[in-house]
Amino acid sequence: METIQLYPKTIHELLIDTANGDRIFELIYGNLLAIKTDLWVTTVYAENKGELFNSIKNLLGLGSNYYERKIVPLTNGGYIGFIDDENQKLLTVNIDKKEGSIINPSEFQEIIQATFSAVAALTYEGYTFQEISLPVIGKKGLQPQEYEGSLKWFIHYAINYLKFSHSTKKIKYFIHIKEDVPYWNEAITQLFTKNVMDPPNSKQFSATIKDEIVTLIDTFPKISRLFVKEILDVLRQELSKHDSLNYTLLLNKADELVDCILKDLYKLDGIVCSMPMPTYRLSREHLMELQEAELIPDGFFNYFITIRNLKNIRYFQTDIDIERHADETVLFLLLLQRIISFYQEFYRKFY
């Protein structure tokens, strides 16, 4: 079986007219590593394994000495990570399964959605990626009859990202198995022939996360501190709504909750604050000091920072913002879920 083509070949090219200019989505047969790009995306399986990931590590000389930030959590225990190598920026889709394990459709949808949410989160920090190159994520866990559905989700999130991205002009999706080309070719032909590019049901996914957050709040240990109780009560009341959530309110309360967590961490025995302790909001430097004391895992450090960044730039200010950034609302809800879970465990242990 042929697995590598030296010179990539475009199978389909979609030109997308956006408010920021023309954008391009390409479906390509060939070796993702044969071209230069601003951001590579790779699947990483359990125990840091994966054929493409190993090839990238060898090509970049990463070995085992590389730093990977956790950007977005996945509900199955995996996450989307980021390696800021001097030669190549790399987004890692950590599936937390053995290579070849079956990936069901809903799980695949979450993975793709989280992948583009992670790219969006990185742009909040100032990164720009004019071109992004991705493999068939989780290919060995997909069956040919699932390609059309998987491609539908992928194209939806890719096009949605391109429509509102100021910096990304092209997304390239690579197929590296020659025998798979007809399946993907037929899938994309059927999608546009039947005009079935309806968006996946992101609302249903959001509703599931909201329910899980409400359950977390309901099972939170008894709280004697009125300020913390008020934050959780407001979050619960807002998340219990069926629609028209006030994301500005949710973001403000999430930011307040992050501050409560940080201040509680400073109360632990042996932890000394080397900077003045403000009455309102701890600084990024405080957060980094707690991380250096190994009180905040790397993943949660980035979750806290992302909440802070969203609050600082006043994201979700209008209904138009929320509609335009629908995928980012899912990212926010996932982060909020993890942060409340983190605080719940902390509360049980220390209060």
Tens of pLDDT, residue by residue over 14-33, are 888 777 788 888 888 888 88
What b-and-e string marks burial along 10-20, b requiring 16 or more CB atoms within 10 Å of the CB? ebeebeeeeee
CA dihedral for 32, 34, 38, 40, sign (positive or negative)? positive
pLDDT (mean) for 245-273: 82
The pLDDT score that the predictor gives to residue 334 is 83
Residue 292 has pLDDT above 80, yes or no: no
pLDDT (mean) for 333-341: 88
The model's pLDDT over 32-85, given as tens digits with 9 standing for 90+, comes to 888 889 999 998 988 777 888 888 888 888 877 788 888 888 877 889 999 998
The type of residue at 87 is N
The pLDDT score that the predictor gives to residue 198 is 46
19 vs 194 pLDDT, higher one: 19
Residue 255 has pLDDT above 70, yes or no: yes
Residue 138 has pLDDT above 80, yes or no: no
| Stated length of the chain | 351
Q: What is the pTM of this model?
A: 0.66
The pLDDT score that the predictor gives to residue 253 is 93
The pLDDT score that the predictor gives to residue 247 is 85
**Beta-strand pair 39-44/131-135:** parallel
C-beta neighbour count of 83 within 10 angstroms:
19
pLDDT bracket for residue 217 (50, 70, 90): very high
Phi, psi of 137 (to 5 degrees): -60, 125
Residue 233 has pLDDT above 90, yes or no: yes
The answer to whether 118 and 71 have CB atoms below 8 angstroms apart is yes
The pLDDT score that the predictor gives to residue 196 is 43
C-beta neighbour count of 312 within 10 angstroms:
11
The pLDDT score that the predictor gives to residue 98 is 85
C-beta neighbour count of 113 within 10 angstroms:
25
pLDDT bracket for residue 323 (50, 70, 90): low
pLDDT (mean) for 151-173: 83
Determine if residue 138 is left, alpha or beta; phi over 0 gives left, psi from -120 to 50 gives alpha, anything else beta: left
Please, what is the average pLDDT of the chain? 80
The pLDDT score that the predictor gives to residue 340 is 92
The answer to whether 164 and 315 have CB atoms below 8 angstroms apart is no
280 vs 300 pLDDT, higher one: 300
Residue 194 has pLDDT above 70, yes or no: no
pLDDT bracket for residue 5 (50, 70, 90): very low
Q: Nearest Cα to 50, choosing from 105, 6, 1, 92?
A: 92
pLDDT (mean) for 7-11: 82
